[in-house]
A and B are shown apart, each in its own frame.
Chain A
Amino acid sequence: MELVSVASATPTSTEVTAAASGRTRAVGAIMIAIGLFTGLVFAMGASSAAHSGLTFNPVNLSNAPWHVGDLTVVTRWVNAVIALLMVVLGLEVIIRSPRRAVMVRFGVVAVLFLFALLFWVVRTPGPSPVPVINFTAVLIGSSEVAMVLIFGALSGVMCERSGVVNIAIEGQFIGGAFIGTMLASTTHSFIFAAVGGAAIGGLLGLLLAFLSLRYLSDQIIVGVVLVTMIGSFSSYLNLQVFTPFPQFNTGTLAPNLAIPLISKIPIIGPVFFDQSGFFYFMLILVGVVSFALFKTRYGLHVRAVGEHPRAAATVGINVVRVRYINVVLGGAIAGVGGVAFMASQGQFQPGYTSGLGYIALAAMIFGRWRPSGAVVASVLFGLSVYLSQNLQTYNVPVSTYILNMFPYIITIAVVSGLIGRVRAPAADGIPYHRE
């Protein structure tokens, strides 16, 4: 049987490609602009005599038989090289219009920008400066923040891939941290603490799911209400429980589990292989979530529910059940993230997550609702959060509040389509009505 060819009402692929490459070129132009800014301010803005010093000592000397010498560099030239690298990357994006990994290149430029800022900040006018930045410490410090962000971003991925916006990650962090410190203080086991954190996070997820799936409430409003409520409630309990009974909030830091041999590799070793159990658990979780979402039957169902719930329902998938499961699991992941945060700080303090849950959400968006993307974004945002918290010690002329804006500026650029196009799951945040 001869079938007549079908009229195409969709745009031709060349048109789509043209529009996409237009956006790609815009990203390249932004990268070049950042490069020029770096060159003008951080390179030319430093006097030719200024130097920046770096050390590479691990924080925990007992675990490091190695010693990498200090490095003193001319601030202007190092930053000029960084600026040049940014411009080259930008040009490459414009000229070659790569189909993939444009955002990764942009992330590299953003990280380079933060390093250039760092070099510029610690410069000293003389030719022989006191080494001031411990490079290894910067990496370890930001890896701890990144770990918490990854837990949060994975939670967001789990929920939003199924079509429920979980803006309550911040609240689940706080809840997890609170329960975590109680359990860690009383049982001295971070495993119990993690299980407790997962339970409280899951419970908050269940509440979010119940209100948004049973009563079809606006998920953003429910999320904000949950965060505000948990914030106040934890402050209240802090006053009523932890102040009179400080023994419930001794917390302590989670011990590092050094992996034999590879933890001894200079620089990389302490950053990747001498971390707490939470860090390794996070790495495993990234792989598990990624595999589950994109390789398994369960993941196909989740993504279908997040994109087109009615289509999923017509083939017998229980939309509401899938959403319940994912929101509870996502909440549990964020809860563990809260415990991990507590375990890197040593104690619970009211309000000390200071918006990390929202930055995690931003990382999820910048990472395009993918676990792998969320990791890249979290590394970038983790570095910027770490720097904003620690730059004071270097007598910075830039306000840390400006640096605090960094993740959000990137997010605005991403969601406004300025850098590449991101597409949320089509049914994200839309209540599902059964007929």
Chain B
Amino acid sequence: MRLELRGITKRFGSFTANDQISITVEPGQIHCLLGENGAGKSTLMNVLFGLLHPDEGEILINGDAVKFENSGEAVRRGIGMVHQHFMLVPVFTVTENVVLGFEPTKSINRVDYKKATDDIRRVSKEFNLDVDPDAVVENLPVGLQQRVEILKSLSHDAELLILDEPTAVLTPQEIDALMNIMRSLAEAGKSILFITHKLKEVKAVADVITIIRQGRVVGTAQPTDTEGELASLMVGRDVNLTVEKSTFTPGEEVFEIRDLVVRDDRGLIAVNGVSLDVRAGEILALAGVQGNGQTELVEAIAGMRHVESGTITLRGRDITNESPRQVLDAGLGHIPEDRHRDGLVLSMSVADNLVLNTPRRTPFARHGSRNLTAVRQNAEQLVKEFDIRTTSIFEDASSLSGGNQQKVIVARELSRPLEFLMASQPTRGLDVGSIEYVHKQIVDHRNKGNAALIVSSELDEVLALGDRIAVMYAGKISGIVDPSTSREAIGLLMTGTTSEVARA
């Protein structure tokens, strides 16, 4: 399919998310749309997929102008989309998910599951997807769920596939497998629109690269261009992709966990006998694909989840199963994984959010009532010091951009005396500028001789920050390695392989 977008403009109120965007995707081409979070990629894809209606511009398929009232029409015109958050019903089988909305039927409206299953087997085989039609989706690993999404589009005779940040939840090996699938789909004549902000993947798979920034197309690039060139086009200025760190001089042991066992919300064991230690002046980076127990581990350390057995020690003090308040008072700084859920109260002001974990302490409170002058002075100082962009310290935290919201959390945590910093996915969803900033703050903290634990599913981040790298798989530490270890070896550890090769 040849797809052409001509001058697409989409506004939300006074904000222009897409400004006169024009893109052409040729048949059999892997066209990469590169841009930062918030650049307008997802809006554009939602317009193309019929989920949003453009204010201006037109969409042409094989030369014909089309208008989609809903995404069903887009699908019927041969457009398939693999969403970042899978659009799969977890309790349905693969077959039920694939046929949904396009069911072959027998008499009295019955779904012809036999025909559906046969069709799925055929398509799965044709494109080497290797998916069992009878499996229940929630029992499948993430990488396979993604293939179900691809299979879904292919079964609906998609000629153009949109892949929206498809690699965010995958291991390096799964990413390679996905790239192979993309290449073979392109060879079979399908057009692919690949949306991402990851430079390595773009270089690996793209035929053509279009870069968008702040809702506009700012240029095209070749996969042969260097990562630095791509990054500066994407961000609009030169970017320093490496983090400056002083030499590694670890001190005494600050933080230790021994044989920790923690259960998840369903009562299953999520952390299964994990032992780790972090020394002063050291960043321990915990790598791993999401969902392997990192979230539960972090929550247990922060006092937000019950510890079944094992101990957590901070500066010689046993903080196992203490309340979050006790843990914070013991000197833990915590940058949580989900800043909207656990990091901020979005409906409260920036100033209040900056004292969220110290509201009862002097000088912010006296005799049980708040000292608003101190709260305001604190906020004014931190906003300046950490370069938080807000119109006022009394604005709701919800009015800030993602990067500035994260800066509020970083400022709050790093501005009080800490024994130990724990940051979970500290740069998720941030633009390159904010990522640089957050990384610098964490490294500065470490350079001052402090200890930190960084949990991240981004391999780049783990490699950039970690003095040592621990890899977590299925609730256990599958290996602790030096940051000079190859990506492939760490990738293997992320899949639970603990061979000598991976240890080397």
Contact = CB atoms under 8 A, between A and B. Distances in A.
Contacts of A423: 91
A271 to B, nearest CB: 31
A311 interface: yes
B70 A15 contact: no
Contact of B103 (A300, A303, A310, A313): A300
24 contacts: A3-B180, A4-B173, A4-B176, A6-B174, A7-B289, A8-B141, A10-B140, A11-B266, A19-B267, A297-B103, A303-B92, A304-B89, A307-B92, A308-B87, A308-B88, A311-B87, A311-B97, A312-B100, A314-B51, A314-B87, A317-B100, A317-B101, A423-B91, A435-B46
Q: Count chain A CB atoms within 10 A of each CB in B71, B101, B109, B267 and give the residue with the most.
A: B101
Interface string B70-94: 1111011000010100111111100
Interface residues of A, number: 37
Interface string A302-328: 011001101111111110000000000
A295 interface: yes
Interface string A395-428: 0000000000000000000000000000100100
Given A296-B108, A426-B91, A435-B51, A312 B174 contact: no
A358 B380 CA distance: 55
Interface of B: 46, 49, 51-52, 70-73, 75-76, 81, 83, 86-92, 96-97, 99-103, 105, 108-111, 128, 130, 138-144, 156, 171, 173-174, 176-177, 180-181, 184, 266-269, 289-292, 473-474, 494-496
Contacts of B141: 6-10
B45 to A, nearest CB: 12
B109 A298 contact: yes
Contacts of B171: 6-7
A313 B71 CA distance: 7
A393 B73 CA distance: 65
A1 interface: yes
Interface in A101-153: none
A370 interface: no
Interface in A1-56: 1, 3-13, 15-16, 19
Contacts of B130: 3
A166 B138 CA distance: 27
Interface of A: 1, 3-13, 15-16, 19, 295-298, 300-301, 303-304, 307-308, 310-318, 423, 426, 435
A313 B70 contact: yes
Nearest to B109: A296
B91 A9 contact: no
A75 B108 CA distance: 53
A7 B92 contact: no
Nearest to B74: A316
B180 A311 contact: no
Contact of A315 (B71, B174, B473): B71
A340 B183 CA distance: 63
Contact of B111 (A6, A16, A295, A318): A295
A12 B109 CA distance: 37
B474 A8 contact: yes
A7 B71 contact: no
Given A3-B128, A8-B474, A317-B72, A13 B139 contact: yes
B100 A311 contact: yes
A317 B71 CA distance: 9
B134 to A, nearest CB: 15
Given A9-B141, A10-B291, A300 B177 contact: no
Contacts of B102: 315
Contacts of B70: 313, 316, 318
Contacts of A435: 46, 51-52
B174 A307 contact: no
A426 B90 contact: yes
Contacts of B92: 303-304, 307
